[in-house]
Structure 1
Amino acid sequence: MAKIRLTKYFNFETAHALYGYDGKCRNVHGHSYELYVTVVGDAIEDANHVKNGMVMDFGDLKKIVKSEIVDVFDHATVLNKNSPHIKLASQLMEHMERVLLTEYQPTCENMLADFAQRIKKRLPDNIKLHSLKLHETPTSFAEWFASDNE
């Protein structure tokens, strides 16, 4: 059986600030993120199965990524709770409902590592997360590959 990769595209808007950074990104700012999620597996070979010929239903992958990533991060402000930004977060929470506090500096790279863990725990046993690509801007992105993290 041939391994097949499926990729689904998602987009969401998120604001963040990088505490201690030496450039503009130390200020709260936002991005139109574009996320590509690629899974790998074998196509179902059972003529009686409703998903015969599929590795995974794109709709099932969408449900996982939407609930774990998009619904959580879309239109949220993400700040590192282990930094002085915790004070800013508490002020923002008085006026905004979507403030996310993370254990990490909310860089594109760290967000990808977080996303990988969130998605992997929800995939069926026969489907593996292959890679993630997160565009922070049209010309800047980070990638995560399972093969690099084994």
Structure 2
Amino acid sequence: MAKIRLTKEFRFEMAHALYNYDGLCKNIHGHSYILQVTVIGEPVPEDESPKLGMVMDFGDLKAIVNREIVNDLDHSVVVSHKVSADLLKQMGQMTERYFIMDYQPTCENMLIDFAARLQNALPERVALFSLKLHETANSFAEWYASDNI
């Protein structure tokens, strides 16, 4: 049977700051992220299946990505574990939603994190093929499963 790739796009707003960075991104700032998630698999061949002809239901993919990534990160502040949690708490109401990651929250590192989350959450017969994360309208990073074997 033929392998088919499905892609779904997600949008979320998130702020971050890069710890010890030597440029403007050391300051807390926000982005309108666009995440493209591509999975690969074979369409379901069983005539009696309600998913006949589908690699994966787009609604199921949406639910997984929202649960694993978007619902948490949308309208949050993300920083490295090297930043003091007390500093964020002192900002009061501006930081009710924040995440302290065990990595520098660059576009590249977030993709590595997202890939791990999604690979653990996808159905067995569907594989993560690639991720593309736009940080700005003209700047993005990509992750491909074939590069990480």
Smaller-chain TM-score range? over 0.9
Report the TM-score when normalising by structure 1.
0.95
Correspondence for 2:144: 145
Structure-2 residue corresponding to 1:135: 134
What is the match of residue 119 of structure 2? 120
Cα distance 1:103–1:123, how it changes in 2: closer, same or farther (>3 A)? same
Show CA shifts across 1:37-77 (max 9, x none).
Answer: 00000000111110100000000000000011110100000
RMSD in angstroms over aligned alpha carbons?
1.0
Gaps of 5+ in 2: none
Cα separation, 1, equivalents of 2:60 and 2:12: 19
After superposing on structure 2, the runs of 4+ consecutive aligned residues of structure 1 that deviate more than 3 Å are: 84-87
In structure 1, C-alpha distance between the alignment counterparts of 2:58 and 2:28, rounded to whole Å: 34
Unaligned runs of 5+ in 1: none
Identity %: 58
**Counterparts of 2:132 and 2:51, CA distance in 1:** 27
Distance in 2 between residues matched to 1:97 and 1:43, nearest whole Å: 42
In the alignment, what sits opposite 1:11? 11
Match of 2:67 in 1: 67
Report the AA paired with residue 89 of structure 1. L
* 1:113 counterpart letter in structure 2: I
| Count of residues in correspondence between the two structures | 148
CA shift digits 1:81-136 (9 cap, x unpaired): 1x1343422323x4232011100000000000000011110101110000000000
Normalising by structure 2, what TM-score?
0.96
Give the counterpart letter for 1:91 in structure 2.
Q
1:121 partner SS: helix
Residues 13 and 33 of structure 1 are in contact (CA less than 8 Å); yes or no, is this contact kept in structure 2? yes
